[in-house]
Amino acid sequence: MRPMIATLCFLATPAVAQEAPRVVADIAPIRSLVAQIMDGVGSPSQLIPTGASPHGYAMRPSEARALGEAELVVWVGPALTHWLEEPLDTLSGDAVRLTLMDHGGSKTLPMREAEYLGSHEHDHAEAHGDEGHADHAGHADHAGHADHAGHADHSEHAELEGHAEHKDHAAHVGHDHHGDIDPHGWLSPSNAVLWAGLIAQQLSEIDPDNAATYDTNWRTFTADVQSLEQELAAQMAPYRDTPFMVMHDAFQYFEATFGVEADAFIVPGDGSAPGPARIKALRDHLAEHPAVCAFTAPQENDALLRTALEGQPTRVAVLDPIGDGETPYGTLMRQFADNMVACFEGE
């Protein structure tokens, strides 16, 4: 009877489900990338709430606790959230830290100067050469990820965890990460594909039992984004010479990818507040060079924009570069392009 009792006890014991990796992403679009790679396994946390400015934020206790319990932290980097460096060092403990903009393969653009007003100093053809915008084949096996399923060769990312020793980090010497690099890199589709692959790789190393799922999700994501990029390139092509301005200079990576370029902005990419002289200069510029559209974001107060545009026929529209953390990356980008075109067309 004892063997029978033992068997019955075994059958009555519920199976212990394997816990998904505990992952924290800094902002909504990065959470969306992580969520798409983790689909079918688990769900990441989001550190900075949607609607809060990533340029400065005081974490709540629940967010600090999530950071302290994380196995993987995925963040854009100090160029966007310089204030987050100390909490990461003190709270995240042994968590793997994936600093996306610091990866050597990431497309980076310099922060545009506050004086930038319709100068078009950036060469579109050069700017949206896109490290493979014309040739995404390089991303299909980026950073060794073609061998991701078997993990035969991760030597290129052996130092990925902190990037402090990253072998490509020397390429950034001379750059102040907190001021020189535009941190809004997720609006580049090539960056999104690269970063999704890095996320898949790190998750597979933390959770090898689900490596095949992460790899499949990344490959699906890559195919979808590459197709979307071609679609949006055709959609945006007729508007390459359409003059527009932006409230916050946060859309440069989208502009560079698709060959459109803002003539002016009010708030620089680092989020610093403009002074009265800046607003006057912008008004003088717009008097001579009217913009068809002016774009703001849901997270922004557009009072300064309305002041700068007073008396101008410029249409104002909202472009959301952040999303809600749940919206898939492709949907976010398609809505962004659709809303831009709708304003250009006067809809």
DSSP 110-172: BPPPTT-BS---S-HHHHTTTTTTS-THHHHTGGGGGGTTTT---GGGTTTTTSTT-TTGGGG
C-alpha triplet 134, 138, 140: angle, nearest 5°: 110
**Looking at residue 5, what is its pLDDT?**
43
Segment 188-237, tens digit of pLDDT? 999 999 999 999 999 999 999 999 999 999 999 999 999 999 999 999 99
| Domain's final residue, options 180, 205, 234 | 234
Residues 277 and 211 reside in one and the same domain: no
Residues 188 and 244 reside in one and the same domain: no
When pLDDT is cut at 50, 70 and 90, the band that residue 337 belongs to is very high
**At 333, which CATH number?**
3.40.50.1980
Give domain status of residue 158, yes or no.
yes
| Domain's final residue, options 202, 234, 266 | 234
Residues 200 and 289 reside in one and the same domain: no
**Looking at residue 14, what is its pLDDT?**
43
Give domain status of residue 243, yes or no.
yes
**Looking at residue 274, what is its pLDDT?**
81
| Domain's final residue, options 216, 234, 252 | 234
**Average pLDDT of every residue of the chain:** 80
Residues 72 and 153 reside in one and the same domain: yes
pLDDT reading at 259 higher than 90 = yes
**Looking at residue 117, what is its pLDDT?**
53
Residues 141 and 164 reside in one and the same domain: yes
pLDDT reading at 158 higher than 70 = no
In the chain, % of residues over pLDDT 70: 76
Residues 192 and 293 reside in one and the same domain: no
Give domain status of residue 58, yes or no.
yes
Residues 192 and 310 reside in one and the same domain: no
Q: How many domains does the chain have?
A: 2
**Looking at residue 8, what is its pLDDT?**
39
When pLDDT is cut at 50, 70 and 90, the band that residue 170 belongs to is very low
pLDDT reading at 126 higher than 50 = no
Residues 62 and 107 reside in one and the same domain: yes
Give domain status of residue 7, yes or no.
no
Structural domain boundaries, residue 52 = 23-112+129-234
Residues 80 and 211 reside in one and the same domain: yes
Residues 133 and 282 reside in one and the same domain: no
Token representation of residue 127: 């700017």
Residues 222 and 247 reside in one and the same domain: no
Give domain status of residue 119, yes or no.
no
C-alpha triplet 283, 112, 198: angle, nearest 5°: 140
pLDDT reading at 186 higher than 90 = yes
Residues 50 and 192 reside in one and the same domain: yes
Residues in the chain: 347
How many CA atoms lie less than 13 Å away from 290 in the CB half-sphere? 8
Helix or strand run (H / E) with residue 54? none
